[in-house]
Structure 1
Amino acid sequence: MHIDIIEDLPSLAKLEDNWNTVYDEDPEAQIFLSWKWLHGWLSCIHGPWFILAAKAGKAADLPYVAFFPLRLQTTIEDADIIHDMRMAGSFGADYTGIVCRPEMENKVLPAFARYVRHMNWARLNLDNLRMSERRVRLLLACFPKAGFRYSEANAVNKVDGIDNSLCPYVTLPGDWNAYLDTLSTNTRQKIRRLLKQVDEPGEYWISVSTSETFEQDLKTLLGFWETKWRPRKGDRTDSLVRSNGAMLTRSFQSGLVYLPTFWHGERAVAALATLVDPRKRTFSFYMTGRDETFEGPPAGVILHAFSIRHAIANGFSEYDFLRGNEPYKYSYGCVERKIRNTIVETRDGRNLRTGIDPRSIPDVLQKATELHKKGKIAEAEMGYRRILGAQPKHADALHRLGQLLVAKADFVAAKRVFRTLTAVRPGAAKAWQCLGQVCESLGEHEQALRQHLEFMRLQPDSPDGFVAVARCMAKLGRIAEINAALLAAIEPASGPSVRKWRDWRSIPDRQASDRSISA
C-alpha cells in the first residue's frame, strides 16, 4: 500500500468525491468520519492535523481506498517535548475511526499502523474509537507490548457515574406508529400526549432552524447549555461553547444540522441540535439546552420525540444518542454499542524519534514563548533549541533564543545565534541591532560598530542607530567623529547633518570591511 499525507484544506477539498465513495462502501463509517463534517471541523480547530490516505500504488490516477484522520498535540513535560497523536475529530466528535473499503482492511490497517509507528510521538490516543474488534486487532498488532504500553482511559464520569463508552441508539422502522409500538405503554401514551400539544394550535409550538434563524437559535441553545454546565465544567466552559458553536455552524452550512426549538408563546424554552447524515441515513443527537426555570411540559422529551418522528418521516434508519448511558435514553427503545478509549504509549514515555515533528513547530514556539514570559528559562530554552534542531533557520526561534541568552549573560552563545539570524534575515534591522548590542557586551566595539552601521543602513531614520554608532566610536577613541553622529541623531532625517553623516559614514564602514573582522 502507498500512503500519502493530506494536511491542508485545499488538498482535502479535492478528495471529496473519492472520500464519499469509500465512505458509502464502509459499513463502519459514521457522521464524524464524513467528508463534510471533517472538512468543517478541521477548518476551525487549532494545531496541526493530517490525514493518511492509502491507495494500491503510487500512480497519481489511482483512487484512495482508505483514510485515517489524525491530529498532533504538543506539551512540554519534564524538560522534554512530548507529542500526543490523536484522532482528528478529538474533542468535537463523539466517535472516531478510519474510513476504509471493507475488502481492503487487511492490507490498509497494518499499512496505516506501520506508517504511524515511524512517526514522532510518545502517546497514540485512540479516543472515542468506534471500530470493529477485527479492525482494532489489525491496527494494534503493529505496536507490540515489548515496545509499547497499553491502557484504557476511564470513560465513567466521577460526578454522576455516567459511562461515556456506552452509546445508546435506536434502529428506526419505516413508520412512526410502528416505532411507538416498540415502546412501553406509558412512554407511548406520554409521547403522543406531549406531541399533540405542539401539533395543535396553542401556547406551545416548535420551530426548526432555517438559514435566517440559525444564528439566533444556536445562540439560544448554547446559552441554555452554558447556564447548566458552567458550575461543573468551570474554566473549560468558554472554550467548549466556542468550539461547539463553530462546529455546529460549519455543519449547518453543510446541511448536517437539524435544530428544533421548543417555545412557550414568545419564550424559547429549549433547543436540541442533531447531526444529520443523509449518506448513512442517521440522526445523531449532539447537544441540548433548556431554560431551567421553565415549569411546563418536559421539553427534552418533546424535542427528542419530535426529532425521531421527523427522522422516520424522512426515511432515516437510526437515531443515535451518542456517548453516555443516561437512563432517560433507554426509554426511547435504545440498545447500546460500546466504544473504546485506548492509549498506546512508548515504554520510556518519550517520542519515538529524536527531535520534534516539524508540524508541531508553531505550537512549540508558542509554548516556549509563554514559558519564557513566565520566567521558566530552562524549559523555554529547550523549546527554542528543539525547534532549531528541526529547522535550523527558524527566524523567530533564533531571535527569542538570542534574547534569552542575553538575559542569561551568555553573550558568546547569543552572538552566534544573532549572527545566524542576520544570515537568515539579512533585511531585518532588529537582527543587526541585537548582534551589535551583543558585540558591545563582549567588548568587541569595532565589530559592534559594523553591525550598528548595517542597522542604520536598513533604518536610516532611527536615532537609535546614530546613538549606538557614537557609543561605539567613543569606546574606540574616535572622538572627532562623535559630534557628527550625535548631531545627526537629533536632527530630522532630511537635515544637513544627517545628509552629511550618511555620506561620511561609508568611510568607517569601508575601513571595517578592509579589516575583515571575523565573527
Structure 2
Amino acid sequence: MHIDIIETMPQLSRLEENWNAVYDADDEAQVYLSWQWLSGWLSCIPGPWFILAAKERDAADLPYAGFLPLRLQTTIEKADVFGDIRMAGNFAADYTGLVCRTEAENRVIPAFARTIKQMSWTRLHLDNIRMSERRWRLLTACFPKAGFHATNVDKVNFEKIDNSLCPYAPLPDDWNSFLDQLSANTRQKIRRLLKQVEASSEYRITVATPETFERDLKTLLGFWDTKWRARKADRIDGLIRTNSAMLTRSFQSGLVYLPTFWHGERPVAALATLMEPRKRTFSFYMTGRDETFVGPPAGMLLHAYSIRHAIERGFVEYDFLRGNEPYKYSFGCKERKIYSIVLETRSGRNLGGRIDPRCIPDLLEQATELHRKGKAGDAEAGYRRILEVRPKHADALHRLGQLLAAKPDLAGAKRAFRALTTVRPDAAKAWQCLGQVCERLDQHEEALRHYIEFVRLQTDSPDAFVAVAQCMVKLGRMAEINAALLAAIEPANGASVRKWRDWRSVPDRQATRGQAISA
C-alpha cells in the first residue's frame, strides 16, 4: 500500500468526496470519523494533526481506500523532549478509530501501523478506539512486545462508571414499537412525561435554531459547569472551551440537535446530540440541568424527546456513547466495548532519537515559556531538539544563544549567534548579540566587526553607534572612532545619517567627537 500524509485543511477539503465514499462503505464508521465532523474539529484545534491516507499504489488518479486521523503532541520533561501521537478526535470525540473499505482492511491497517513506526514518537495513545476485534488485532500486531510496552488504560472513573462500555439503542421504524420493547414501567413513565409537557402551558421544549443556538449552548454549558466545576476544577475551563468550539462547528455543519426544557421562561435542562445522517445515528454528547429545579425528570424527558425525533426522521440508532450508567439501559440498550491502550517505546525515548518536525512550532512555544519561567535546562533541551532537525531555525538559534549567554556558556552562545548571522544576515539583532558575546569573551577586534554590521543594518539605533565606539575605546583606537562609524553608515541615507554628517561638519566638534561618543 502507498501512504500519503494529509496535514492541511485545503488538502483535507479536496478529499471530501473520496472520504465520504469510503465512510459510506465502512460498516464500522461512526460520526466522529465523518468528514463533516472531523473537518470541523481539525479546523479549530491547536497543534499539529495529520491523516494517513492509503491507496493501492502511488497514482494521482487512484482513490484512497482508508484514512487514519492522528494528532501530535510534544512535552518537555526532565531536560528531554518526548513525542506523543494521539487519535485526532481526542479530546472531544467519545470514539476514535479509522475508516477503511472492508475488502482492503488486511492491507490498509498494517500499512498504517508500519508508517507510524517510522515516525518519531515515544508514546502512541490508542484511546477510545471503536472498531472490531479483527481490525484491532491488525493494528496492534505491528507493535510487538520486543520493541514496545503496552499499557491498558483504566476507564473506570471515581463513580465506578466504566467508560469503555458504550450503551446504544437500536431504533425501530416507529415510536410505539420502540416503547413496546421497554419495560412497562419505563414505557408508562415516558408517555406520561411527554404528555405532561406537551399538554401543559407551564412547560415546553424548544430546539436550537441558528438564531437561538448561541443562547441554548450557553445554557447547556452553564449547567454543565455548575455540576462539574468542583470535581474538574483544574480542567473545567479548557473543557468548556473545547466543547463550545466543537459543538458550534458541528452545529454549523448541521450535526447538532439541541433541545432545551423550560419551566415558563426559565431554562431547566438542555441536551446536545450529534446527528449523523449518512449512518442515520443519533449520538448523545452532553447534558446539563438546573439542580435546583423540582419537577419532571429532565434527563429522561429530553432523551425520550430526542429518540422520538430520531425515529420520526428515519434514524436507526441512538448511541449513549461512553459510560455504563444504569439509566441508559432503561431505554432498551445493547452495549459495545471500546479499546484504550498506550504503546510506549522500550527505550522510553523517541523512535529515531529525534522530534517530528511538525511539532516544531508547539515545541518552540513550550521551550520559550519554560525559558521565561527560568527553567533553563528544559528550555535548552527544547531549543536543541529543534535545531537537530532544523539547524537553521532562526528563532531557536536566537533563544538558545540568549539562554547560553545567561548561563554563562559564552562559547556556546557565540556558536549559536554566529550560526544565526549566517541564517539571517539581515537581522541587526543577531550581529548585536554576537558582538556582545565576543566582547564578554574579550575578543574586541571580532566584536568590533560585528558591531559595524549592526550599525550598517540599524543606522537609527543609538545602541549601535555606542557599541562601536565603546569597543574601539577598549582597543585604544580613539582616533579611528569617527572614521569607523562613518564607514559603517556611508551606504545609508536615513535621518540619523544626515544628522551625523551635520554634526561632523562643525569644525570645533571634530576634535572632541570620539570622546563625546565614548562618554
Instruction: Please identify, of 370-379 and 404-413, the stretch whose mean Cα deviation from structure 2 is larger.
Output: 370-379
Q: Does the Cα contact within 8 Å between 1:207 and 1:262 map onto a contact in 2?
A: yes
Change (3 A) 1:296 1:463: same
Deviation at 1:500, TM superposition (A): 5.4
- The aligned runs of 1:9-408 (5 Å cut-off) are 9-157=9-157, 159-408=158-407
Deviation at 1:79, TM superposition (A): 2.6
Deviation at 1:150, TM superposition (A): 1.5
Deviation at 1:493, TM superposition (A): 4.0
Among 482, 499, 502, which residue is 2:501 paired with? 499
Residue 441 of structure 2 is matched in structure 1 by: 442
Q: May I ask how many residue pairs the two structures share in their alignment?
A: 500
Deviation at 1:482, TM superposition (A): 4.9
Give the TM-score normalised by the residue count of structure 2: 0.93
* Counterpart residue type for residue 435 of structure 1: L
Secondary structure in 2 matching 1:115: helix
Change (3 A) 1:35 1:444: same
Q: Does the Cα contact within 8 Å between 1:467 and 1:485 map onto a contact in 2?
A: no
* Counterpart residue type for residue 462 of structure 1: S
CA–CA distance in structure 2, aligned partners of residues 134 and 486 of structure 1: 76
Identity of aligned residues (%): 72
CA–CA distance in structure 2, aligned partners of residues 501 and 443 of structure 1: 31
* Counterpart residue type for residue 108 of structure 1: V
Q: Does the Cα contact within 8 Å between 1:84 and 1:125 map onto a contact in 2?
A: yes
Change (3 A) 1:502 1:218: farther
Deviation at 1:213, TM superposition (A): 0.8
Unaligned runs of 5+ in 2: 506-519
* Counterpart residue type for residue 34 of structure 2: S
* Counterpart residue type for residue 500 of structure 2: V
Deviation at 1:479, TM superposition (A): 2.0
CA–CA distance in structure 2, aligned partners of residues 501 and 13 of structure 1: 62
CA–CA distance in structure 2, aligned partners of residues 486 and 349 of structure 1: 55
Secondary structure in 1 matching 2:168: strand
Secondary structure in 1 matching 2:204: strand
Residue 509 of structure 2 is matched in structure 1 by: none
* Counterpart residue type for residue 479 of structure 1: M
Residue 464 of structure 2 is matched in structure 1 by: 465
Give the TM-score normalised by the residue count of structure 1: 0.93
Deviation at 1:216, TM superposition (A): 1.0
Instruction: Please identify, of 410-419 and 71-80, the stretch whose mean Cα deviation from structure 2 is larger.
Output: 71-80
Secondary structure in 2 matching 1:231: coil
Residue 514 of structure 2 is matched in structure 1 by: none
Q: Does the Cα contact within 8 Å between 1:484 and 1:501 map onto a contact in 2?
A: no
Unaligned runs of 5+ in 1: 504-519
CA–CA distance in structure 2, aligned partners of residues 49 and 450 of structure 1: 45
CA–CA distance in structure 1, aligned partners of residues 163 and 504 of structure 2: 72
CA shift digits 1:168-198 (9 cap, x unpaired): 1000001000101111111111111111122
Q: Does the Cα contact within 8 Å between 2:452 and 2:485 map onto a contact in 1?
A: no
CA–CA distance in structure 2, aligned partners of residues 302 and 357 of structure 1: 49
CA–CA distance in structure 2, aligned partners of residues 419 and 501 of structure 1: 34
Q: Does the Cα contact within 8 Å between 2:307 and 2:318 map onto a contact in 1?
A: yes
Residue 507 of structure 1 is matched in structure 2 by: none
Q: Does the Cα contact within 8 Å between 1:198 and 1:205 map onto a contact in 2?
A: yes
* Counterpart residue type for residue 439 of structure 2: E
Q: Does the Cα contact within 8 Å between 1:485 and 1:501 map onto a contact in 2?
A: no
Q: Does 1:475 align with 2:478?
A: no
Deviation at 1:200, TM superposition (A): 2.4
Deviation at 1:80, TM superposition (A): 2.0
